[in-house]
Amino acid sequence: MPWENKTVEKTRKEFIQKVIQKETSLSELCREYGISRPTAYKWIARFKNGEGLEDKSHEAYFKPRKTSVEKEELILYTREEHPTWGPRKIKRSLENKGFVELPATSTIADILKRNNCISKEASDAHTPWKRFEKEEPNEMWQMDHKGNFGLSNGIICYPMTILDDCSRFSLCINAKDNERWLPTKNCLVTVFREYGLPKSILSDNGNPWGSGGKGYTMFDVWMMQMNVLPIHGRILHPQTQGKDERFHRTLKEDVLKRTILRDLDHAQEEFDKFRYCYNYERPHESLGLDVPAKHYKPSKREYIENPQEPEYDTGKTLRKVNYKGYISIDKHRYFLSDSLINKYIEIVPTSEKSVNLCYGEFAIAKVDTEEKKIISKRIYRR
């Protein structure tokens, strides 16, 4: 007769009473009550020791791995301060601040789930994937405008961001009210003076640094004068600047969705706080949970305050771009760009049928002299 939960204590007392009376063998009693001999010995021993016969909790008396209330509160406080941080980032951030004996990442995840801090959708959205990257800081910067948004005072904000490709260090988040060239150049000058010059800058083909793939911009010419390679991603292919796009998503989640920005000054204040946290406090998955500042160092190439036109060796074949942006080769004109008006271009033969057009250290176009057409306008170092 199996013991039912609702009468378990009463049934056990009956069993013990029959054991004491010794009218039936223990084996027969075990069969009658549907229990094993070890179970019978356990209840007899508990009776002899004066212990109760009710069920005891199976929870361990000593839990060496149980997270303390203080540690759990610390984890939840960190999550509240940074709602987009996952278990790995939270643990590394607390370690960086000197906290020790923290629970495992899986335990932190359990704590967050138990307190309704992580949804399945959020977990799926933060699955990491591998991107290409440069090997050294300042080999390439990625530059873009975060999608514009309205401020409380009615002004439209166009945040300009610059990210180091190797270290993920945020070099700039500039709150501007337009995407015109002059304020963009002023912002770049500030960054160059603080961090030096990179070897290359990757941007899209939009204003103010791109021309939709049709020519060369003032930005391109300025970069080449300072020996910085301007690179433009493929048109309608934002994945080329994947790191900066991902940075924009983090900026949106951590700032734009959480704070109502009143004006440009308020926006800049919040951007500066976010940028400091991103560079010096927020562990980065692609850096082995290091912070970007640990991997970044300023460039040794100092900003050139007044860049000059390139100088060419004696004997080189040069052509001057005319007032309409055209260059003449063998009595045929080719359009380059208004940004190159009155500048000298070197003609470098590559075969009997083609030549490269070079501006200083850079090849800027390839011309098929037989077909009389420009076949490439990609800029690269020669």
| SS3 of 114-143 | HCCCCCHHHHHHCCCCCCCCCCCCCCCEEE
- What was the pLDDT predicted at 143? 92
**223 shares its domain with 329:** no
- H-assigned helices in the chain: 8-21, 26-33, 37-48, 69-81, 87-96, 105-114, 120-125, 181-195, 218-225, 242-251, 264-280
Q: What is the dihedral of CA 77, 83, 87, 91, to 10 degrees?
A: -50
Residue 64 located in a structural domain: no
Q: Do 231 and 161 have their domain in common?
A: yes
Q: Which residues pair with 380 in a beta bridge?
A: 363
Peptide bond preceding 238: is omega within 30 degrees of 0, i.e. cis? no
Domain count for the chain: 4
Q: Are residues 100 and 226 in the same domain?
A: no
Indicate if 90 and 211 belong to the same structural domain. no
Same-domain pairing of 243 and 149: yes
Could you please report the per-residue DSSP string of 225-280? Answer: HTT-EEEEPPTT-GGGGHHHHHHHHHHIIIIITT----SHHHHHHHHHHHHHHHHH
Distance (Å, whole) CA 141 – CA 169: 10
Q: Quote the pLDDT of residue 67.
A: 76
- CB neighbour class for 365 (10 Å; exposed up to 12, middle 13-18, buried from 19): buried
> Do 146 and 283 belong together in one domain?
yes
Query: Residue-wise pLDDT tens for the chain (382 aa)?
Result: 454 444 677 888 888 888 888 778 888 888 887 787 778 888 788 787 777 777 665 555 444 556 777 788 788 878 888 888 888 888 888 888 888 888 888 888 888 887 777 655 455 444 443 445 678 999 999 999 888 899 999 999 999 999 999 999 999 999 999 999 999 999 999 999 999 999 999 998 877 887 665 679 999 999 999 999 999 876 544 555 678 788 889 999 999 998 999 999 999 999 999 999 999 999 988 888 899 999 999 999 999 999 999 999 999 999 999 999 999 999 999 999 999 999 999 999 988 899 999 999 999 999 999 999 999 888 999 8
Contacts of 19 (CB under 8 A, 6+ apart): 26, 29, 40, 44
In a domain, 135, yes or no: no
The answer to the question of residue 151 being in a domain is yes
Same domain, 121 and 258: no
3-class DSSP state of 333: strand
The CA radius of gyration of the chain, in Å to the nearest whole number, is 35
289 close to 95: Cβ distance less than 8 angstroms: no
Q: Are residues 156 and 38 in the same domain?
A: no
Q: List the domain range (segments joined by +) for residue 279.
A: 141-294
Predicted confidence at residue 43, as pLDDT, reads 78
Tell me the C-alpha distance between 58 and 56, whole Å: 6
Q: Is residue 73 part of a domain?
A: yes
Domain check: are 41 and 177 in the same one? no
- Cα–Cα distance measured from residue 101 to residue 105, given in angstroms and rounded to the nearest whole number: 12
Q: Which of 369, 325, 332 is nearest to 351 (CA)?
A: 369
Task: Indicate if 9 and 42 belong to the same structural domain.
Answer: yes
Asked if the structure places residue 313 within a domain, the reply is: no
Structure tokens at 211: 């021309």
Residues 148 and 253 in one domain: yes
Q: Is residue 302 part of a domain?
A: no
| 147 in the same domain as 110 | no
Bridge pairing between strands 332-335 and 362-368: unpaired
